């Protein structure tokens, strides 16, 4: 009998738990909503504030007005990497179910055709989620608004932090609101995205000049949405696993099928490539895509559903709130883009936001009354998981931007197999990214390692420093690599299209 009562009590545990902390989250987007949901389910009393006025509505309605000032990137092409899907599967399965109910599908990442017959055991985590970003945000919001212990308040802009500076370490006690007054809390979580003013305000207040590390990505993003035309039953192939695309000398392109026949495409040239800015014109965007071998056949089966959106000012950033082993602030955590961004072409932000939300929830559960240990444990996770990808992105961008600059100037490019990445890492034995890609076309072990790293299921070191990967690459005979040269427009053809 007693056993039954305990079993019932355990199964109903979350709804009987008393609120543990009053938590305010700034930003009701991917990071803020997922963190809010997880914390409310852990028994906390959570308020999520967002400056944008996001009115409720069905998925089509919400997607149609997805462009909003607080998250202008929401309408751009987004890939949902395997890590983010795994977090939804493991921690927010109802959100994943909601997305599936609206047509989002799983795509087990296929190996390249050259090794497909050799890959027998599929990695169950290596699965992408095919969905447009605004739908992911809609699903999180739908689940969040009916979550006990969670209040989502939109149209409420946070203007600053309220601090108690009487102790050795300043303590955040609330946020100031544009509508007036202060919203107090035991803990504040900054999920206000890449333009977060909160950490910048902290740096200024305490003279902590380099709280934020950052570097310009050097690239600009152009995206356009399409839909598969009615009556089309066979779609062209995807050459890049979850997408069709190519990394060309002057720009990258990516075209990814999403839910219910929606497709989103991006063109990413150098920010300095002034002529390429003309892809902002829809007809020019499509003409450039038509010139890209793997993407071209898609244009025959699609019709556009949007204009071309553009976004520049893209930075890689990393914020660490622990310095020389000491927390510089108590009662404030940062999550999602407010903590770190990298070049969006790597497609990492959604997955990091979701993973970070889970880690914040676990750390608060582990040290519920100890803000210092919370700060240090979260910083340790950022150092172990996010910082290596931040460094990796910066190294990759420097190589890519240097190559694109040469192409822009019409200079001869170095062979694909030898970009100077190893020089940047300071490790002469480190393979280059292109070597990894080349080896992954003939070697299932290298492909699997590379795919897990690109999907954020493993760290950069798990692939670059793996002795087997290094050994396989050293044995690589470049003459035998089925390295398809991506076909795209020449500089002369581009000049004609863009003028
Ligand atoms: C062009 C582009 C393409 C991208 N492509 C990909 C991709 O393919 N895959 C991928 O995983 N990621 C991609 N990303 C990154 C991804 O969009 C972000 O990582 C993700 O949206 C981060 O979510 P977030 O909740 O941290 O921040 P955001 O989505 O920026 O949300 C921040 C929220 O905070 C609110 N806010 C801001 N300031 C305040 C304030 N003072 N008071 C109250 N509310 C405030 C805003 O209104 C907004 O709702 C891309 C990014 C860009 C720019």
Q: What are the helix and strand counts (H, E) for the chain?
A: 19, 20
Residue closest by Cα to atom 8 of ligand 1: 78
Kindly give, in sequence order, each residue whose CB lies less than 8 Å from that of residue 485, ignoring residues fewer than 6 positions away: none
- Ligand 1, residues 29, 66, 200: which to mutate, most atoms within 8 A of Cβ? 29
Q: Which helix (H) or strand (E) holds 49?
A: strand 45-50
Look at residue 480 in the predicted model and tell me its pLDDT.
Answer: 66
Q: Which helix (H) or strand (E) holds 252?
A: strand 251-257
Ligand 1 lined by 192 (C-beta under 6 Å): yes
Exposed, middle or buried: residue 257 (CB in 10 Å: 0-12, 13-18, 19+)?
A: buried
* Token pair belonging to 276: 């390429």
Look at residue 413 in the predicted model and tell me its pLDDT.
Answer: 60
- What rounded mean pLDDT belongs to the chain? 90
Ligand 1 lined by 100 (C-beta under 6 Å): no
Question: Which of 103-107, 229-233, 488-492 bottoms out in mean pLDDT, i.e. has the lowest?
Answer: 488-492
Ligand 1 lined by 32 (C-beta under 6 Å): yes
Distance 194 CA to ligand 1 centre (A): 6
- Ligand 1, residues 70, 132, 219, 225: which to mutate, most atoms within 8 A of Cβ? 70
CA 164/CA 222 separation, integer angstroms: 44
| CATH code for the structural domain at 221-313 | 3.30.9.100
Give me the residue label for tokens 């939804």: 88
Check if the beta carbon of residue 29 is closer than 8 Å to that of residue 50.
yes
Give me the residue label for tokens 């305990």: 6
Give the largest CA-CA distance in the chain.
82
* Token pair belonging to 6: 């305990």
Strand partners, 228: 302
Question: Which of 54-63, 69-78, 413-422 bottoms out in mean pLDDT, i.e. has the lowest?
Answer: 413-422
Instruction: Using a pLDDT cut of 70, give the percent of the chain over it.
Output: 91
201-219 pLDDT, tens per residue? 888 877 776 788 999 999 9
CA distances from 350 to 31, 33, 316, 499 (A): 8, 12, 15, 36
Of 399, 391, 394, 389, nearest to 456 by C-alpha is 389
CA 486/CA 382 separation, integer angstroms: 36
H-state helical runs in 259-370: 282-290, 296-299, 349-366
Residue closest by Cα to atom 27 of ligand 1: 193
Give me the residue label for tokens 């996010």: 386
**Which atom of ligand 1 is the closest one to the Cα of 50?**
44
106-159 pLDDT, tens per residue? 999 999 988 999 988 889 999 999 999 999 999 999 999 999 999 999 999 999
Distance 437 CA to ligand 1 centre (A): 29
Q: Which helix (H) or strand (E) holds 151?
A: strand 150-154
Instruction: Using a pLDDT cut of 90, give the percent of the chain over it.
Output: 76
Kindly give, in sequence order, each residue whose CB lies less than 8 Å from that of residue 295, ignoring residues fewer than 6 positions away: 244, 245, 246, 253, 255, 265, 289
- Ligand 1, residues 36, 37, 73: which to mutate, most atoms within 8 A of Cβ? 73
Distance 420 CA to ligand 1 centre (A): 32
Domain boundaries, given as residue ranges, for the chain: 2-216+315-393, 221-313
Kindly give, in sequence order, each residue whose CB lies less than 8 Å from that of residue 285, ignoring residues fewer than 6 positions away: 222, 224, 265, 267, 279, 308
CA 83/CA 127 separation, integer angstroms: 8
Of 264, 392, 262, nearest to 253 by C-alpha is 264
With vertex at residue 155, the alpha carbon angle to CA 179 and CA 160, rounded to the nearest 5 degrees, is 50
CA distances from 194 to 73, 82, 159, 214 (A): 10, 22, 16, 11
**Which atom of ligand 1 is the closest one to the Cα of 30?**
25
Distance 61 CA to ligand 1 centre (A): 20
240-283 pLDDT, tens per residue? 999 999 999 999 999 999 999 999 999 999 999 999 999 999 99
Which DSSP category does 270 fall into?
B
Exposed, middle or buried: residue 2 (CB in 10 Å: 0-12, 13-18, 19+)?
A: exposed
**Which atom of ligand 1 is the closest one to the Cα of 84?**
11
With vertex at residue 196, the alpha carbon angle to CA 194 and CA 199, rounded to the nearest 5 degrees, is 120
pTM of the shown model = 0.93
What burial letters (b/e) apply to 40-63, b meaning 16+ CB within 10 Å? bbbbbbbbbbbbbebeeeebeebb
Kindly give, in sequence order, each residue whose CB lies less than 8 Å from that of residue 45, ignoring residues fewer than 6 positions away: 19, 21, 22, 23, 149
Look at residue 350 in the predicted model and tell me its pLDDT.
Answer: 98
CA 339/CA 35 separation, integer angstroms: 13
289-323 pLDDT, tens per residue? 999 999 999 999 999 999 999 999 999 999 999 98
| CATH code for the structural domain at 2-216+315-393 | 3.50.50.60
Kindly tell me if the per-residue pLDDT of 348 is higher than 50.
yes
């Amino acid at each position: 009998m007693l056993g039954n009562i305990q079993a019932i009590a355990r199964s109903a545990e979350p709804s009987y738990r008393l609120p543990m902390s009053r938590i305010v989250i700034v930003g009701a987007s991917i990071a803020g909503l997922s963190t809010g949901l997880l914390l409310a389910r852990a028994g906390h009393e959570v308020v999520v504030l967002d400056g944008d006025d996001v009115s409720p509505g069905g998925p089509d309605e919400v997607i149609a007005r997805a462009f909003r000032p607080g998250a202008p990137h929401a309408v751009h092409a987004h890939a949902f990497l395997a890590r983010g899907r795994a977090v939804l599967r493991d921690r927010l399965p109802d959100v994943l179910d909601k997305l599936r109910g609206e047509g989002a599908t799983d795509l087990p990442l296929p190996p390249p055709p050259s090794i497909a017959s050799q890959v027998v055991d599929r990695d169950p985590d290596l699965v992408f989620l095919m969905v447009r970003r605004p739908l992911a945000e809609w699903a999180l919001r739908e689940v969040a608004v009916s979550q006990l212990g969670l209040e989502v308040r939109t149209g409420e802009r946070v203007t600053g932090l309220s601090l108690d500076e009487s102790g050795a370490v300043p303590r955040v006690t609330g946020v100031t609101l544009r509508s007036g007054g202060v919203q107090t809390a035991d803990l504040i979580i900054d999920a206000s995205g890449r333009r977060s003013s909160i950490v910048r305000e902290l740096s200024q207040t305490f003279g902590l000049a380099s709280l934020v590390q950052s570097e310009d990505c050097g690239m600009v993003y152009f995206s356009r949405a399409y839909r598969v035309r009615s009556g089309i039953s066979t779609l062209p192939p995807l050459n890049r696993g979850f997408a069709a695309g190519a990394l060309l000398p002057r720009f990258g392109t990516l075209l990814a099928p999403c839910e219910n026949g929606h497709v989103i495409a991006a063109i990413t040239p150098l920010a300095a490539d002034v002529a390429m800015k003309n892809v902002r014109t829809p007809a020019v965007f499509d003409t450039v895509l038509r010139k890209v071998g793997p993407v071209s056949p898609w244009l025959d089966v699609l019709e556009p559903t949007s204009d071309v959106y553009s976004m520049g000012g893209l930075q890689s950033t990393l914020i660490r709130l622990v310095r020389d082993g000491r927390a510089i602030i108590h009662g404030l955590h940062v999550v999602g883009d407010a903590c770190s961004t990298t070049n969006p072409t790597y497609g990492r932000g959604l997955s990091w936001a979701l993973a970070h939300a889970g880690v914040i929830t676990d750390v608060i559960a582990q040290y519920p009354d100890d803000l210092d240990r919370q700060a240090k444990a979260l910083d340790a996770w950022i150092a172990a998981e996010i910082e290596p990808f931040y460094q990796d992105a910066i190294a990759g961008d420097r190589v890519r931007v240097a190559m694109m600059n040469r192409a822009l100037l019409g200079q001869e490019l170095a062979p694909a197999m030898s970009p100077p990445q190893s020089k940047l890492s300071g490790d002469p034995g480190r393979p280059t990214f292109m070597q990894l890609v080349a080896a992954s076309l003939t070697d299932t072990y290298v492909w699997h390692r590379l795919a897990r790293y690109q999907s954020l299921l493993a760290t950069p070191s798990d692939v670059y420093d793996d002795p087997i990967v290094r050994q396989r690459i050293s044995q690589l005979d470049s003459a035998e690599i089925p390295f398809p040269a991506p076909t795209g427009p020449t500089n002369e053809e581009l000049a004609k299209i863009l003028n």
